[in-house]
Amino acid sequence: METLGTYALVDFIPVEPEVYFRLFARHNLSVWPSQLLAVPLGLLAIWFLRQGQTRIPGILLGLSWIWVGVTFHLMLHAELNWAAKYAGWIFVVEELLLLTLALPARPRTAPRDRDWIRMWVGAGLGLLGLLLYPLLPLVTQLSWRETQVFGTAPDPTALVTLGCLLMTDRFTWPLATIPLLWCVLSGATWIAIGWMPGLLLPAGGVIFIGLALWPRARSL
């Protein structure tokens, strides 16, 4: 235990921070120009959820997770980190879970006040992931080539997914478990690397949990 106490969090990251950031630059180049299509599709998913429809958002979110899992984790990140292989397959599992949103649903009932709060906060989280998260490298000393975009990078994809899940009345914990787990893992990575803007992702996870548990807390 004394030996374990001599390690810092960064010692558990298998690559240097510069190499990790350069990984996103390599990935952006390899999947270009899918980024130009991913963000409009994310906005389309939020718009459909605002209209009370989940079928198309479920398909779009599911496709985003499998695309990130295969192209980022399995094909690229796994070269540097042995755990990325498992992360990639977990992302594929999340894709299958999200596709359940495309299944027929019961007719919607009139939303209660807290549903409207979840709707607007969920849309806000989704827009943060779509529009703000890709800009975070630009406010630090990183290159625009290292930006992280929804549908191609894991962080904004998880954040947008949590926002979308808040917007649907078919919310279930199984759909949110993997994105929340990624919030924890990615947040720990950013803390170890020292890139504090990345903590926007775990902050979004905390907001999601708070709103998800709020109805139950009010009933106690």
Round to whole Å and give the CA distance between 30 and 19: 16
Q: Which of 30-39, 43-52, 162-171, 203-212 has the lowest mean pLDDT?
A: 162-171
> What is residue 53's predicted lDDT score, i.e. its pLDDT?
87
Round to whole Å and give the CA distance between 191 and 170: 33
Q: Please, how many CA atoms are within 13 Å of residue 45, restricted to the half-sphere of its CB?
A: 36
Q: How confident is the model at residue 31 (pLDDT cuts 50, 70, 90)?
A: very high
- Report which of residues 200 and 107 the model is more confident about: 200
Buried b (16+ CB within 10 A) or exposed e, 181-192: ebbeebbebbeb
Over residues 107-130, the mean pLDDT reads 76
Q: How confident is the model at residue 130 (pLDDT cuts 50, 70, 90)?
A: very high
- pTM for the complete prediction? 0.86
DSSP 8-state assignment for residue 15: S
Q: How confident is the model at residue 194 (pLDDT cuts 50, 70, 90)?
A: confident
